[in-house]
A and B are shown apart, each in its own frame.
Chain A
Amino acid sequence: MITGGNGDHARFGDDVAPWLLGALAAEEREAFERHLAACGRCREEVAALRPAVEALPLAAPPVAPPPELRDRIMRVVESEAQLLQASGESADRPERARRPERRRPRRWFVSLSPALAAAACAVVAAVGVGGYLIGQSGSEGGGGHVVAAKVSFPAASASVRTEGEQASLQLANMPAPPPGKVYEVWLKRNGQMPRATRALFVVRSGAVTIPGGVGDADQVLVTAEPRGGSLVPTSMPVIVANTA
């Protein structure tokens, strides 16, 4: 992983200022960041120049944001906060110890931007139609670890079966999703926002594969979403399974 030692300093030393200013192209940035991890001299230079770069945004002439911007942001935030709370008390638990991360200016966040959401939704839809499921039902071999889920419909039941890297949602007697909607499966980690899976379904009974398994998620959630799925849940979960 670390390819650049101090020996590379002559090659990368000039990139400190462009890196801080965000002026490296993507590949150069990655190469520089690998070097930075191994080069104390560059890290010192970064530390010395960083305050200058951090002052730059303050030079932007003040412009008042429109009040609608706040409203738009807070609408999303409120609905996500609501979902976070509804999906369990985990959000109130103390945060897990964080791994120290190397500073990587452009990797601070992982969530997809709303601007990308449309494109990604299209992918989700294509995957759904292409065969992930929409109605894949049937049996899977026994075995594995099964966790019963809470379901908001009294007559329905659901459980999550994990076996190694594989996971599936077992359903019985689910009502059909509301018109124009599909059910979407989410994975949620303690204190974080739910992450969309590519699992969309409309079946009422049977097994729904969760592509990629549940990984390190603590909870599996299901919400009703517009056809094609969403990147961020837009309704309250109807199924909640604690898999941790």
Chain B
Amino acid sequence: MAFERRKRPESSESALQSLADEELMALVAKGQARAFETIYERHGGAAFSLAYRMCGSRSLAEDVAQEAFLSIWRSGGRYDRARGSVRTWVLGIVHNRAIDALRRTVVHERRRASDEGIEERFEARERTEVEAARREEASTIRGMLETLPDEQSRVIELAYFGGFTHSEIAEMLGAPIGTVKGRMRLGLEKLRGQLAPQGAMP
């Protein structure tokens, strides 16, 4: 049946723009499509970038981002601000969806995607200030990762971006599982230490 776009009694777009993410999520929980669209506008770029970094293919990244955002829409009421920012929540969902997608694919295909250093092949098209800020943020965090000993950043990247389990990583690197887990912990501790003084978290 036909439905008319943008005719429902919802908050106006400019009013929505002025709301904080947390307030928008309360509207999303009530089924307000425009509030959801504003959330997408704010976080769709970071979400797609993460999905693309993990999947290494545009089409898979699009599928992952679509699944993630639809699940966000359908479970909007589950966002709990006590647990952190909306952005962190959104990216956590994208990450989980991407891991699920990666684990459905064959291991060596994944390895290629995560090893290739996709880096800047598809640069963001819009050079807005927001984009510029995101690029800077990305390179700051990448810089921090690069300061870790290779063996630590490697296991973190394989796990977080590659979607590999600790035992897959152990096999790939020819290292004992306990060693891999230990490197993950050391790497995260070190990263945490670098973040704290700069208050870099949103």
Name the residue on A nearest B196 (C-beta). Answer: A51
* Alpha-carbon distance A78/B70, docked complex (angstroms): 11
Find residues 1-41 in chain A having any chain B CB closer than 8 Å to their own CB. 14-18, 20-25
Which B residues are in CB contact (< 8 Å) with A108?
A: 71, 75, 78, 89, 92-93, 96
* Alpha-carbon distance A65/B100, docked complex (angstroms): 20
Which B residues are in CB contact (< 8 Å) with A49?
A: 185, 188-189, 192
Which A residues are in CB contact (< 8 Å) with B138?
A: 58-62
* Alpha-carbon distance A57/B90, docked complex (angstroms): 11
Name the residue on A nearest B62 (C-beta). Answer: A69
Known: A108-B93, A115-B63. A22 touches B163 (CB 8 A): yes
Find residues 38-68 in chain A having any chain B CB closer than 8 Å to their own CB. 48-49, 51-66
* Interface membership of A79, Cβ < 8 A: yes
Name the residue on B nearest A23 (C-beta). Answer: B159
Find residues 176-202 in chain B having any chain A CB closer than 8 Å to their own CB. 178, 181-182, 184-185, 187-189, 191-192, 195-196, 200-201
Partner of B160, one of A16, A21, A92: A21
Nearest CB of chain A from residue B33's CB, rounded to whole Å: 4
Nearest CB of chain B from residue A195's CB, rounded to whole Å: 10
* Interface membership of B134, Cβ < 8 A: yes
* Interface membership of A82, Cβ < 8 A: yes
Which A residues are in CB contact (< 8 Å) with B26?
A: 95
Known: A60-B52, A65-B62, A77-B70. A18 touches B184 (CB 8 A): yes
Tell me if B73 and A77 are in contact (CB < 8 A): yes
What band does the interface of chain B fall in when counting residues whose beta carbon is under 8 Å from A? 35 or more
Find residues 181-217 in chain A having any chain B CB closer than 8 Å to their own CB. 191-193
Partner of B181, one of A17, A53, A63, A82: A17
Which A residues are in CB contact (< 8 Å) with B44?
A: 65, 69-70
* Alpha-carbon distance A219/B93, docked complex (angstroms): 29
Which A residues are in CB contact (< 8 Å) with B46?
A: 57-58, 60, 62
Tell me if A114 and B70 are in contact (CB < 8 A): yes
Show 24 A/B contacts (Cβ-Cβ < 8 Å), sorted by A: A17-B181, A17-B184, A23-B166, A51-B192, A52-B191, A54-B88, A58-B46, A60-B46, A61-B123, A62-B138, A63-B45, A64-B48, A64-B122, A69-B65, A70-B44, A73-B70, A78-B5, A108-B71, A108-B78, A109-B78, A111-B71, A114-B63, A115-B101, A191-B29
Give 8 nearest A-B pairs by CB, closest first.
A65-B48, A60-B53, A23-B159, A17-B184, A59-B141, A81-B33, A109-B71, A52-B191
